[in-house]
Amino acid sequence: MNRIHTLFQNKKERVLSIYFTAGFPALEDTLPTMQAIESAGADIIEIGVPYSDPIADGPTIQDSNMIALENGMSLKKLFEQIKDMRQTVSIPVVLMGYLNPIIQYGMESFLKKCQEVGVDGLILPDLPMQQYLDEFKTLFEQYGLSNTFLISPQTSEQRIREIDEHSNGFIYMVSSHSITGAKTGITEAQIAYFKRVQAMNLKNPRLIGFGISDAETFGIASKYSNGAIIGSAFIKKVKDSKDLKTDIYTYIKSVIQ
């Protein structure tokens, strides 16, 4: 049982996951950002692995990816930065990335390294489920890593149930059929989708992401799921920060107030 399972056993509602891009705003900000996220009271840290073509992400996260890559961030560098993270970070850590750099690194080498440094799970938006089941599921299990799939308003009930069957951490509910980015408010159509999935009584916990940015949207999302993921809004807060620790603390506290 990894930290993700333990978290959801102990906390059923208002779980807050914070996404940030490794190596952003500055190359060596990765570990200090993680420490600040935990001390502010978030429940999960989601580290974005920078990639030149992040297809699911909007302009804010794309921009942070490009800056991190220009700063010199790579998978090798990330693992160096977080190799001792478990000395100071105790909450679950998830890596979110795209297949290309991971395949180049070597999937088994990557999963082994994740286990070594204390990563708990992965979100790989462009990993097809069938490929995961055929090629990688046993490796994920071998190295004790959960794999999170994404669903959206367009995902059929059959597909959602299939994802639920093959998930072992949480399900990432994309709030709308779009790229990431903080939107203004949550629509009636989105709430209808949240209710529809809620009524399915899935076995895995669900976190809602895309468009969650403040206490209001976090509160609404948490009414229909176990909590939410904040990415773009957080990236905007840290981009021009002069005092990373204080600004992260203030922002996260404003969300979970």
Q: What is the average per-residue pLDDT within 3-21? A: 97
pLDDT at residue 223 greater than cutoff 60: yes
- Residue 198 contacts residue 226 (beta carbons within 8 Å): no
Q: Which two tokens stand for residue 207?
A: 């976190």
- Residue 102 contacts residue 125 (beta carbons within 8 Å): no
The reported pLDDT for the residue numbered 55 is 66
Distances (CA, A) of 198 to 127, 156, 173, 222: 25, 14, 11, 11
Query: pLDDT tens-digit profile of 174-210?
Result: 987 655 555 567 889 999 999 999 999 999 999 999 9
pLDDT at residue 252 greater than cutoff 80: yes
pLDDT averaged over the chain? 94
Query: pLDDT tens-digit profile of 46-85?
Result: 999 998 876 667 788 889 999 999 999 999 999 999 999 9
The reported pLDDT for the residue numbered 107 is 97
pLDDT at residue 39 greater than cutoff 90: yes
| Distance, CA of 93 to CA of 124 (rounded, Å) | 14
Enzyme catalytic residues: 46, 57
| Distance, CA of 182 to CA of 247 (rounded, Å) | 18
pLDDT band at 28 (very low <50, low <70, confident <90, very high): very high
- Residue 33 contacts residue 68 (beta carbons within 8 Å): no
Query: pLDDT tens-digit profile of 125-157?
Result: 999 999 999 999 999 999 999 999 999 999 999
pTM equals: 0.95
The reported pLDDT for the residue numbered 116 is 98
The reported pLDDT for the residue numbered 125 is 92
pLDDT band at 214 (very low <50, low <70, confident <90, very high): very high
pLDDT at residue 103 greater than cutoff 80: yes
The reported pLDDT for the residue numbered 177 is 66
State the angle between helix axes of 30-40 and 244-256 in degrees (0 to 180), rounded to the nearest 10: 40
